[in-house]
Structure 1
Amino acid sequence: MPTLSLLRALLFPAIALTSVWWLAPLTGLWTEDYQTLISVLPYLLGTLLLVLAQVFNQGRLGQMALLVMATYALIQFELQASLEHSERWWVFFWLTLLWPLNAVVVRFLPERRPLSLAGMMFPLALALQLLLIYGLTLTSLYPAVLQWSESFRAAGVGGLLPLPAWLSFSIAVALCANRLPRKADIPLAFITVIVLHAGMFYLFASQQVSALTASTSLLLLFATLLVSNHQLAFIDELTGLPGRRALMNDLKHRHGRYILVMADIDHFKKFNDTHGHDVGDDVLRLVAAQLEKTSGGGRAYRYGGEEFTLLFPSAELVETRPFIEATRERIASYQLTLRDTNQRPASSKDGKKQRGQKSKARTLNVTMSFGAARRESGESIEALMKRADNALYKAKQNGRNRVEDAV
């Protein structure tokens, strides 16, 4: 499942990279009307994305949109002349050097609304960088620094991307790719935007390449924002399973006969009271991981608290009963190790010494009770869930760690 999640997160970045690779050679063939439209498009997309990022509290996506839009505006107003001019090369050199570093800063910023006081720190930092670069031209150091920057012009591949920029972009990609989280949509989108801008600076002489790169980057960020908010609304953050809203949405669009199973962790309150909420969270993750392995077409959801749901496309309970029983037995036989945080090694050296020694950690066994109900023709969702709940209550009454069918 982690591999499948990563492949899904790679879909939009792959589309963005493929689109730019295919469209870049064609920009010179576009009519004047199309060129005018694509020149304005980054500003429209960037403004819309900033508004949505503010509404949905997606600060990093909003700040990246701001960086892309500000970069595009700087190119349009300052870098339309030949880079043979020293003044233009000065701006281009520092832009290619600092842009990926600013992208890394955005990647690791805390989530703050773009238009909040904390969120305004990043655009202020960008403005300060511009002032410092401009201020450097007024000092006695300018001739020497300019000569140093121009020493990379001919050495750069194609003469357009200086060596410091290559290093900066490589470091930025490596930092953003390091330790990708389980929900990797935003980091992968940022990596793609960085790669797109590296390509843009490398092909800087191409017509409309900056507009194409900015528009594609912003469309990718827009799609990532939609995916991210969908996950927040429909995916349970702790377990990674679809949540109650996703379950109800699926049930509303499901017709005919199917099997609904309500499942509940036995004595879950005792786990929390005895071992603490951290262990309780481990139990929930364990159960979710095992429920996700349910075969027979079963799909797992976290209904709420310690309660989960399984949904089967089968029309008969007898068909799904072996799959439910297999899941129940798999959970009951799994031993959850309780780690003593006070005995954790203080260093990797101490950890190596402890390896191979007999562990004194305690283990727990978790069990679940299941209530299964087949949807009857014309039966409402509420009635079906009530019958499944009654079957679950019956399983609890009959000793727990068992499956009961609804009547």
Structure 2
Amino acid sequence: MKTLHSVIQTLNPYAAYEKTQSTRLRKTLMCDNVKRLKIIGIIGSSVNLLLLVLYYLDRGFSGLTTIEATLRICWILASIIYIIGVGSPHSPEAIKKRQFIFFYGATGLCLLFASLITAVLSVEQGSTFLYLINILLIGSFLYLSLPEMICIIAPSFLVLVLSILFTPGSILLVQGNFVNVIASTAFAVVIAQTILTSKLTQLASTQTILDQKKELEYLINLDGLTRIPNRRKLESYYSDHPHTSFALLMVDIDYFKNYNDTYGHLQGDQCLIQVAQCLSHYPFEGLTTRYGGEEFVTIIILADLECITPLVEAIRQSIQDLQIRHEASPFGVVTVSIGYVVTETRRENHSNETTVLEDFILKADQALYQAKENGRNQIKLYQE
């Protein structure tokens, strides 16, 4: 079973990761591959163009009509098509099917042109240098799995092997070229798998660290009991909306101490959780946080000032509609009092956002005090 698992991982290193992570890793590596192959294409085209210029200077126009020159011209054109057609993806999210097609096609053609030129020129001179340099460059510079390497290498490898076998020459020369091609190809494949596995491990480890950091940040901004945002998140949310008109609500559960004394603290915790979930899931644009004890602070982004009072009243009513039994309350069920303040001004960036937020909270708290003084289970707008 372990052997089968090892074989699968060798054939497909991405199989070690879940589907979503595997897709993300593929796109991340393809983003790098696209950029790296562009560099190879630019350098290769420059070398080919320089050679064509030298051929022209040496033999005139006839120097550009040879099979080798024609192949180099086609190679340059293929590189240009790739560089233009593949686009410029700057992130893994920008990688689409088009990038995969252009990349695999261009990589395969790169080796194929190297093999064809080697077949018509280099083998006759007892050298397979052009193929060797390209196969080693691709194996060590690009991130390719074993199946990808096989598919890319197969056509060019077959062309080169056939050209070596059917090219007249001494047995030693043929054997030497044959060994060079096989050894360099095998070495390139091994190097490619080593680099790919190492890169995948590095990316996966980095992503794990980022995910853990994101989870930690999420937990830091979360109230441990009610699982809604806490005061820390309230401050950051306020700072992230500097040019927004809003209403700030201070919500307090009525007679909560009596509730705890009557039903116990465990039941009191359940009451807090139910109220918190009701507030946080109410349909409005904004944020509800647990401020402390039985108090909650809600920020509502304002689109229409005339709707804020009916909305706050509806929020108060939604808590009462939970019908959480409360024998120690004159209302018979759990209710809330809400003090709120409305700002229509578009505030500029302040050097101390926390102080400004605390000022709004203080005003909402003053309105909440008035709501309690007036008998609880009601809303009260702060007024200067």
* TM-score using structure 2 length: 0.46
Higher relative contact order (CA 8 A, sep 6+): 1
TM-score, normalized by length of structure 1?
0.44
Answer with 1 or 2: which has the greater Rg.
2
